[in-house]
Structure 1
Amino acid sequence: MSVGGRSADQTQGGARGFHTTAASLKADDFYSVLGVKRDASQAEIKKAYYQLAKKYHPDANKEASAKDKFLKIQEAYDTLSDEAKRRSYDQFGTADPTGGMGGGPGAGFGGFENMEDILSQMFGGAFGGGGMGGGAQGRRTGPGRSSGMGGFATVGEDIEAVATVSFMDAVNGATTTVTITPIVKCEPCAGAGAKKGAKRHTCSVCHGTGQATFTMGGFHVQQSCPQCHGEGWTIQAKDQCASCGGKGRVRERKTVPVTVPPGCDSGMRIRLAGLGDAPLEGEGTPGDLYVRLRVTPSSVFRRKGADTYHTAQVPFTTAILGGSVRVPTVDGDVEVKIRPGTQPGEELRLRGKGIRKINSTVRGDQYLGLRVKLPTQMSERQRRLIEQFAEEEEEGKGGAGPRSTPQPEKDGSKKDDDKKDSDKKDTGFFSRIKKDIEEGFGKKKPKDDDAK
């Protein structure tokens, strides 16, 4: 089809390209037209093209020569931006070794996607992708989306769902489900939008080309047809599929199983390929489903990465005398040794008792905070034992009165004898107290203080 001295051909990618029909630009050196060196990179060529195109576009430049200059810039860029055409041009002085410069697909305007980029930059995105009912299709963003004006995305949109799992399911791994409503191809009409046996009619606006032509600043520009949305055909209302209303797409509610890997945490996303929305038009691949995990907190553990934290109650007799306590871990209860003289607030580290790191065999640690539990009620005998302990503790500290400063001895024999007597006294004191407390509070002798 020839429009306004230019012809519109179908490019290999399915988009409509524009080019001049005359060979009036043959004599021009394309590198000089764009102002780049012959060894310029594609990035340099594209940058020069954008700058010149915006400068000389007839809608932005009202000089009489701007139109011809703009056409030269377009043809130069179309040739040099295509590596095959550029090699032919460098070797033969033409992009077409058989002779013609114009007339090839995409010449002149360099394919409408390039033109759209220029117009979008010049006019603030007025020529960007539109939605259903008008404007260009296929400008949706997302992984794998690609299409210029007049085309459509070949990959559907990604969707997201949220799955709530328990703390222990996140630790050990589990299988859960999510309910989604993705856009899918209508089954009754197989995505065609028409009743079975109904005929589709050639679009009266674009005459089956899928492209609509309009004039802007003296130039004929094409975009996706607003009537048929680039399909090239329409369906009469009486022939439309009752299930999808002629759209060829519906939303379908479905429940999807999700495998939760061990070691996952809140905020992590699991990708399920191909379970997202189907493309709104044409054939293509559905997008992906991303399941975001929400882990419910535990009443027993706190978590930080792969490490867990737990606070254990320790009887004061165990803290004084030593022993063991049974504490929970993500793998079950274990016995942990408590050394004699353990102080409130101390923290033990249980190596390898934390959470398995995701996609790994390495495990974190469990940190065990110790809280000494004091008795709230005591028998008279227990009270006497504690009082006896307190009295002997004071005596051991010299609480009866101020100590005299020891005088140096001429020989160390007396000092050594005093030390031996003191050691015997201390040993006897702790033995008695330990025995009394064990008998008074019914405690057994302590076991090992390692986690078992």
Structure 2
Amino acid sequence: MDEDYYKTLEINKSAIAADIKKAYRCLALKFHPNSTKEAGSADRFSQLGEAYDVLSDPRKKATYDRFGLEGLKGGIPPEFGKGGAWSSKYAYHGEPEDTFIEFFGCDNPFAVFSENDVPLQFVGLQPVVVKTQDPPVEKDLELSLDELFLGCTKKIKIYRNVMNEAGLSSVKDKILSIDVNPGWKEGTRIVFSKEGDQLGPNSIPADIVFIVRQKPHPLFERQGDDLINQTLISLEMALTGFSVNVRTIDGRLIDIPINDIVHTRYRKVVPGEGMPLFQDPSQRGDLIIHFDIQFPEKLSADRKHLIKKALK
């Protein structure tokens, strides 16, 4: 089926959250199996469940609006993803009744039947309390470049308000575990669904979202999957050649011969010594060495003469 979720809910793309809820409420009641036995109503009811599941979720809706059904169900192309956090494929759970129950709070909000068990018109329906979810709570997850290179597990204690069946609130703590994968980048988002505060009996606990923030490193600057190293050399070395010893991020000392004349725009690229690629940690970016040339502060007349003679 080539779905158009907006057409399914009979709304346009400018519809806001309240419009989406209103459209689903009316159509789900109309096409619910307990409401009608018309041919095709079961399929339409299932389509409504999937459309609402996507358009009521800001992240799914944003993915669908930008990349269409192919991007939503097939996964966002790697060049648009942020460390893979948005690249997971969407699949509807296939239970429109579950979507209906979650929306209305019960499985049959119009349980008014005649003696022959034929559903009557929806007259005098009792108001249904619709639970809403608070906006996600975002927290920074500070990681060193070494942790992003090797991967690690971070344990984070959170405190949150929870409510029991009687509506009484209490504060409880919980340990969240985050498995950091090698190659994660700045801005990678890790979502813990419904682990935030529950602020009222009719509210759904907010999601907690951790956002990767990379700490500065004393030797390397990261650019994508590459690592940049800055090395100081003398003017003599720049002109006559030399070898430079560089300590890699995983602790190895490598000797790199430089036989070229080093100028201000010169860069030495060492393949495969950068960060691991998130999609394939066995592959790595490059190490790129930039050189700062230290010029002498003063030169005697004799030295200037010798330099001029050597450079002719």
Is the Cα–Cα contact under 8 Å of residues 159 and 182 in structure 1 kept in the other structure?
no
- Displacement after TM superposition at 1:85 (Å): 1.5
Is the Cα–Cα contact under 8 Å of residues 314 and 325 in structure 1 kept in the other structure?
no
- Displacement after TM superposition at 1:351 (Å): 1.0
Aligned partner of 1:262 in structure 2 is: 182
2:154 aligns with one of 176, 181, 190: 176
2:233 aligns with one of 314, 317, 322: 314
Aligned partner of 1:388 in structure 2 is: 306
Q: Read off the aligned partner of 1:374 and give its amino acid letter.
A: F
Q: Read off the aligned partner of 2:149 and give its amino acid letter.
A: V
The answer to whether structure 1 residue 253 and structure 2 residue 143 are counterparts is: no
Aligned partner of 2:268 in structure 1 is: 348
Distance change in 2, residues 1:112/1:330 (3 Å): farther
Aligned partner of 1:108 in structure 2 is: 121
Q: Read off the aligned partner of 1:171 and give its amino acid letter.
A: F
SS at 1:253's partner residue? Answer: strand
Deviations 1:181-214 (A, max 9, x none): 22335xxxxx343xxxxxxxxxxxxxxxxxxxxx
Q: How do residues 212-291 of structure 1 correspond to structure 2 at under 5 angstroms?
A: 247-272=167-192, 275-277=195-197, 281=201, 288-291=207-210
Tell me the matched-pair count: 220
Q: How do residues 6-17 of structure 1 correspond to structure 2 at under 5 angstroms?
A: none
Normalising by structure 2, report the TM-score.
0.55
Distance 1:300 1:111 in 2: 71
Is the Cα–Cα contact under 8 Å of residues 319 and 339 in structure 1 kept in the other structure?
no
Distance 2:226 2:265 in 1: 19
- Displacement after TM superposition at 1:265 (Å): 2.3
- Displacement after TM superposition at 1:140 (Å): 0.6
Aligned partner of 2:38 in structure 1 is: 86
Is the Cα–Cα contact under 8 Å of residues 78 and 108 in structure 1 kept in the other structure?
no
Aligned partner of 1:56 in structure 2 is: none
Deviations 1:133-156 (A, max 9, x none): xxx6324147xxxxxxxxxxxxxx
Deviations 1:102-156 (A, max 9, x none): 9745x3128959xx8xxxxxxxxxxxxxxxxxxx6324147xxxxxxxxxxxxxx
Distance 1:321 1:296 in 2: 37
Normalising by structure 1, report the TM-score.
0.40
2:245 aligns with one of 304, 326, 329: 326
Aligned partner of 1:366 in structure 2 is: 287
Q: Which segments of 5 or more consecutive residues in structure 2 lack a partner in the other structure?
A: 12-25, 42-112
Distance 2:273 2:152 in 1: 20
Larger Rg: 1
Distance change in 2, residues 1:166/1:176 (3 Å): same
Aligned partner of 1:163 in structure 2 is: 141
Q: Read off the aligned partner of 2:273 and give its amino acid letter.
A: K
Counting aligned pairs with the same residue, the percent is: 20
- Displacement after TM superposition at 1:319 (Å): 1.8
